[in-house]
Structure 1
Amino acid sequence: MQTPGLWRRMACWLYEGMLLFAVVFVAGWLFSTLGQMRDAMDSRRHLLQAFLFVVFGVYFVWFWAKGQTLAMKTWNIRIVDRAGAPITQGRALARYLLSWVWFLPPLAAIAPFKLSGPESALLIGGWVVVWALLARFHPRQQFWHDAWAGTQLITSRPMSRR
């Protein structure tokens, strides 16, 4: 089982972010319509954030338990457990929760210091780069949240067009 290169995994990560824009749009629209939110500063915005956290969890757990998200299919990347078998929904949920290490450390630093937009973007972007580069120190070049969750990303063969 071959680990995809870091650049390919990060390209998949960025593509996943673009696809998630549609998920956020639809989920946010449903929440704000059904909840009759009037504006972004509505007192229910924290509830919206919690709702999106759950929606993202459902999205990722569903697709990872099937082996690939839409972005992973595009980049020929598959998720498996340490033995190379498909992962369970429980393991996919653990990976989802652990994958928040991509964002929680900088978000925890942004809140108490009330950093501005550019400062926040720089902090989050810098942490993403650092976290991605830390994969170089894993024996199989896997991301550390994968190692902790007992999962690994592998190169998969493209589907034949028969």
Structure 2
Amino acid sequence: MPDNELRTLAEQVLEHLCRTGRRLITVESCTGGLISATLSDIPGSSDVLEGGFVTYSNALKMSAVGVPEAILAQYGAVSIQTAEAMANGVLLNARDADVAISVTGIAGPGGGSALKPVGTVCFGLAVRTAPTTSMQCHFTGDRAAIRAQSVHHALQMVLRA
């Protein structure tokens, strides 16, 4: 995915958030902060970007954003249940944010399984005024491609919120 396409999408997201008077917070695992970095590369992003968390480990998912240990034990770190809990948990503690996007997945090249192959990525979107939505996607390519597709998908979710 060309960088300019991602930048254009990020600009659209920032404009949308500004127009709707909302602030965004991110909580990322497999993207390692790329959603926040993509948005913060654009001047003026601080008007709507509250901040972001990178929660690679299960321990940090629990302590920083409140993912219940039971969800991780039952469904695993890469699940729509965990993605929902990440988005809901971060939004509970970010008083000035209205929207939270979360991403957790397997970017590869290792770490996949028959049930959750490399490229499996789960997203959660929490909005204070609406029910939380989540979805699972399967992306292809190398690690960089999977992460780029994940950022693109997350930004699309925020834009539709």
Please state which band the TM-score falls in when normalised by the shorter chain: 0.3 to 0.5
When the two structures are superposed, what TM-score results if normalisation uses the length of structure 2?
0.33
Query: Rg larger in 1 or in 2?
Result: 1
When the two structures are superposed, what TM-score results if normalisation uses the length of structure 1?
0.33
- Whose helix fraction is larger, Structure 1's or Structure 2's? 1
